[in-house]
Each structure stands twice: as C-alpha cells, then as structure tokens.
C-alpha cells in the first residue's frame, strides 16, 4: 500500500509539473516574441547571430507547451511508452536550452558588433530613408541616446554636417530650447551613443531572462525525475490510480 500511495503521489506530481511546464512554455513564447520585437526595432534582425536567440526561445516554448499535454496524457493513461517519450523529450529540451545558453554567451560579441554596424548604417541613411529616420528617432528618444557610438556621428552626414547639428530626437526629453540640436553639448542633448544604451538595456533585462530560464530548467529536472519514477512504477506492474 505504501508503494501504491507513493506512486499516486508521483502521478499527481507529474500532473502538477506538467501544468508548470505549460505555464513555462507560454512564458518562453511571450519572452521570445518581446525580444524579437525589441531587436527588430534596433534594425539588426537580418543578422542571424542577433535573431537566433529569440527564435530558439520561441521554438522551445512552443515545444514545451505541447509536450506538457503529452506528459499529462501519458500519466493519465498510465502508458509506459508515452511517459517514456515524455521524459526523453523533456531531456532533449533541457539539453537544447543548455546549448542555447552556451551559444548566446559565445555569440554575445557578434550581437554587439551587429548592433553597432546597423546603427552606423542607419545614421548614414537617415536623410534618405523615412522608415530608418522614424525608427532611429524612436530609438534615440526611447533610450535617451544619440548616434551609433556618440552624438558626433551625426557631424559627418547630411543634413547635419553643414550646420554642426544632430536630430532633434537627441535633445533631452525636457528640453525647451528650439535650437537644442544645433551646436549641441551635454547640457542640451543626450551625448551617449545608442549602441551602448541598447546594450546596457539588454544586459539589464538578460538577468530576468536568465532567472526565468534557471527556474524552468529546475522544474524540468524535477519533471524528468518524477517521470522516471512513474515509468519505474508502471513497468513494475503496480497499479497507479
């Protein structure tokens, strides 16, 4: 009876952790989409090194979302093959997440380089492309920055090099001077470059992503352990109610 009661508990835990996996899958999908949107606004989405990470996050989230239902069905039907398949899939997901974390660490410098390159291109094309102009203005206002590396980037491109100015989106949010962008100084505009500001934003929020990932990995490990226990109980021929 003790073993039967123990297996009932394991079966309940498998259901419980599958519900958590389902929530984790939704969380990953949302995080991946938000990161994708944010990177899209920085004009670097055509870079594989930049777009790969959010795509992996979304894919893993979708897989976890469906695998959680598969695990519930296996536990409910007390089917050894289904529970075994669930444990294998969960292990694969865990390994993919580790690989993605390693890849993210390895390619972090390439993401930084891609970001700087695209911002430099945006500065050069600012006067000729209305979409780039609007996007760059939005970035400079949102991140309180100016130019790719710093505000002096604008002094070498038209139409700003003729009068030694910068776009008005570089001005402080509370600026009252109509000419705050002409002959700019640190008292009238944001002098920090957008590459540094966006990178700082990413580093700040990557801590949240890492915490979520660690929490999901912990639950996945517990899910794998409980699934293996349930497999052992089913295989031993004990009835799990």
Q: In whole angstroms, what is the distance from residue 193 CA to residue 145 CA?
A: 5
Question: CB neighbours of 181 closer than 8 A, spacing ≥ 6?
Answer: 165, 166, 167, 168, 170, 171, 188, 189
Residue 191 located in a structural domain: yes
Residue 122 lies in a domain: yes
Query: What's the average pLDDT block by block, 10 residues per block, for the chain (241 residues)?
Result: 58 76 79 72 50 70 78 74 81 79 70 81 87 88 90 88 87 78 86 87 73 75 80 65 45
**Do the Cβ atoms of 86 and 15 come closer than 8 Å?**
no
Pair 201, 143: CB distance under 8 Å: yes
Range of the domain at 168: 112-195
> What's the confidence (pLDDT) of residue 145?
92
Same domain, 41 and 156: no
Quote the pLDDT of residue 237: 60
Q: Is residue 241 in some structural domain? A: no
Residues whose CB is less than 8 angstroms from the CB of residue 135 and which lie 6 or more positions away in sequence, other chains included: 41, 43, 122
Tally of domains within the chain: 2
Q: What is the CA radius of gyration of the chain?
A: 25
Residues 41 and 78 in one domain: yes
Based on the fold, state whether residues 77 and 10 are members of the same structural domain: yes
Q: What is the CATH number of the domain that holds 165?
A: 1.10.1450.10
Residues 75, 147, single domain; the answer is no
Position 135 in a domain: yes
pLDDT at 2: 38
Contact 160, 154 (CB under 8 A): yes
């Amino acid at each position: 009876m003790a073993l039967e009661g123990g297996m009932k508990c394991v079966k309940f835990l498998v259901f419980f952790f599958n519900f958590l996996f389902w929530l984790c899958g939704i969380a990953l999908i949302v995080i991946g989409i938000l990161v994708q949107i944010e990177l899209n606004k920085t004009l670097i989405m055509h870079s594989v090194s930049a777009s790969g990470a959010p795509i992996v996050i979304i894919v893993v989230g979708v897989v976890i979302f469906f695998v959680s239902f598969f695990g519930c069905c296996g536990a409910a039907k007390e089917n050894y093959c289904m529970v075994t398949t669930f444990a294998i899939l969960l292990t694969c997901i865990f390994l993919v997440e580790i690989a993605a974390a390693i890849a993210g660490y390895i390619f972090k410098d390439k993401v930084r380089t891609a970001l700087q390159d695209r911002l430099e291109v945006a500065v050069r094309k600012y006067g000729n492309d209305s979409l780039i102009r609007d996007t760059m203005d939005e970035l400079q206002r949102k991140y309180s920055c100016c130019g790719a590396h710093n505000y002096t980037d604008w002094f070498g491109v038209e139409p700003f090099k003729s009068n030694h100015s910068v776009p008005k989106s570089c001005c402080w949010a509370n600026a009252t001077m109509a000419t705050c962008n002409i002959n700019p100084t640190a008292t009238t505009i944001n002098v920090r470059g957008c590459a540094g500001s966006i990178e700082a934003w990413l580093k700040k929020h990557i801590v949240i992503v890492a915490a979520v990932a660690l929490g999901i990995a912990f639950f996945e490990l517990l899910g794998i352990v409980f699934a293996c226990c349930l497999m052992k109980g089913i295989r031993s021929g004990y009835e799990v109610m």
